[in-house]
């Protein structure tokens, strides 16, 4: 297949295998770190950094937002090529964003009712967390989509710079009542936490405050991460040779990661408040990894071992939502053991995994088993061509 044939196939809607693989690896990693056998025994790379700094786990969510940006370009380029009108695309995008945001609220509010001691509305609904992973994805997807439809690439580049520099300036220069300006070394003293508390109050924040790692204000630089994915998608859909595209992904990715690394000296890399250095650093690393996937899988054709990641990638939001609901259900079901009630999840972990390994290895085995089980479910859906779209 020639360069032009490959590009026309993408513009016609052919799935980009490397993007599905990257998305699948990302969502599988997200499920791995979200489902240990016990939160008391986890290998350090599978934990988030305590505050400043990063671990491998801290790369997962920004990678997904980066992928959202790339996907926006692929999907809308196809739609525009078929003659779709801008206002129709925006309306569909707004509807899809509302659905994703709503799914996030459903996860936050689950369980919705309480049955013991009497039936009624569960406390989760009165103290529901407003923001979250899916809610942030919804906002970033909506903003990135509208900007891609209406703005030129150069304007998007300027917007990314304005978002990241502007967020840095606000976080470091605007004083927080009772704390002052630039106090980002503690969760409750920074501007992002203060604004989220003003809007939502502690009761609607992550674990009832004092801050939310997916808060509304820190979603602003997360939009910058998504827009860097949009710029990657624009390069991908250009008429350039695949070798030149790959080189651009690797070189620009290195450049962005280097900017983030240097910026870290002045504005520390930090996931909970999604600092500008974190936004551009993780997007740069994501761009490089995507470039490697694109070169190996779509350009060189090495697709033999990609199926496990592809089946995760084509139903990424579905498995994220359902795995979260099922995991929470296992913790809600209480089993009487030796005169006390413990969760079904704990019973499974203690009796199936813990007898065969140390606690930390048993915890990892539990998480891996979770991934394998969902792989079989997703593989069945893939064979039946069941792709759940929102």
What DSSP line would sit under 195-252, residue for residue? HHHHHH-GGGSGGG-S--TT-STTHHHHHHHHHHHHHHHHHHTSSS-HHHHHHHHHHH
Please name every residue paired with 343 in a beta bridge, in sequence order, or none if there are none: 334
The confidence score (pLDDT) of residue 123 equals 62
CA distances from 121 to 36, 127, 334, 371 (A): 29, 11, 19, 32
Q: Quote the pLDDT of residue 294.
A: 96
In whole angstroms, what is the distance from residue 132 CA to residue 76 CA?
26
Task: Give the H/E segment covering residue 120.
Answer: strand 120-121
Asked whether residue 219 carries a pLDDT value surpassing 60, the answer given is yes
pLDDT above 60 (res 257):
yes
pLDDT tens digits, residue range 264-284? 999 999 999 999 999 999 999
Average pLDDT over residues 76-86: 89
Q: DSSP labels for 14-62?
A: ---HHHHHHHHHHHHHHHHHH--S-TTS--GGGS--SSBS--GGGGHHH
**Rounded mean pLDDT of 85-92?**
92
Span 149-207, pLDDT tens digits: 999 999 999 999 999 999 999 999 999 999 999 999 999 999 999 999 999 887 788 88
Residue 3 pLDDT? 57
Average pLDDT value for residue range 136-155: 96
- How much is the pLDDT for 1? 47
How do residues 10-48 score in pLDDT, each as one tens digit? 655 568 999 999 999 999 999 999 999 999 999 999 999
Tokens of 116: 């013991």
Please give the share of the chain, as a percent, with pLDDT higher than 70: 93
The domain segmentation of the chain, as residue ranges, is 1-47+306-390, 62-301
Taking residues 356-374, report their average pLDDT: 96
Which pLDDT does position 201 carry in this prediction? 82
Instruction: Count Cα neighbours of 250 within 13 Å in the Cβ-side half-sphere.
Output: 11
118 pLDDT exceeds 60?
no
Q: What is the pLDDT of residue 81?
A: 85
Average pLDDT value over all residues in the chain = 91
């Amino acid at each position: 297949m020639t360069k032009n044939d490959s590009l026309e196939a993408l513009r016609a809607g052919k799935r980009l295998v490397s993007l599905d693989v990257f998305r699948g690896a990302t969502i599988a990693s997200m499920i791995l770190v979200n489902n240990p056998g016990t939160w008391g025994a986890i290998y350090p790379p599978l934990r988030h950094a305590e505050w400043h700094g990063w671990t491998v786990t801290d790369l997962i969510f920004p990678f997904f937002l980066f992928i959202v940006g790339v996907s926006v370009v692929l999907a809308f380029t196809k739609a525009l090529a078929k003659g779709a009108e801008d206002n129709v695309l925006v309306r569909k995008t707004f509807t899809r964003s509302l659905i994703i945001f709503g799914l996030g609220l459903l996860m936050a509010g689950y369980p919705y009712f309480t049955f013991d001691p009497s039936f009624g509305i569960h406390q989760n609904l009165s103290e529901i967390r407003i923001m979250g992973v899916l809610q942030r994805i919804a906002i970033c997807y909506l903003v990135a989509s509208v900007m891609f439809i209406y703005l030129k690439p150069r304007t998007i580049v300027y917007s990314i710079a304005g978002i990241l520099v502007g967020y840095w300036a606000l976080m470091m220069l605007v004083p927080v009542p009772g704390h002052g300006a630039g106090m980002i070394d503690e969760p409750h003293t920074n501007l992002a936490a203060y604004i989220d508390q003003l809007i939502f109050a502690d009761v609607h924040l992550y674990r009832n405050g004092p801050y939310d790692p997916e808060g509304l204000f820190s979603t602003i630089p997360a939009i910058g991460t998504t827009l860097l994915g949009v710029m990657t998608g624009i390069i991908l859909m250009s008429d350039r040779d695949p070798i030149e595209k790959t080189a651009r992904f690797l070189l620009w990715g290195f450049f962005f990661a280097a900017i983030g690394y240097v910026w870290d000296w002045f504005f520390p890399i930090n996931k909970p408040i999604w600092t500008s250095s974190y936004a551009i650093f993780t997007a740069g690393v994501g761009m490089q990894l995507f470039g490697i996937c694109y070169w190996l899988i779509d350009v060189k054709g090495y697709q033999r071992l990609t199926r496990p990641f592809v089946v995760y990638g084509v139903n990424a939001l579905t498995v994220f939502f359902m795995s979260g609901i099922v995991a929470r259900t296992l913790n809600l079901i209480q089993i009487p053991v030796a005169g006390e009630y413990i969760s079904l999840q704990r019973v499974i972990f203690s009796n199936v995994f813990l007898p065969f390994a140390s606690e930390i290895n048993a915890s990892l085995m539990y998480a891996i088993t979770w991934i394998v089980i969902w792989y079989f479910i997703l593989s069945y859906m893939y064979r039946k061509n069941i792709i759940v779209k929102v």
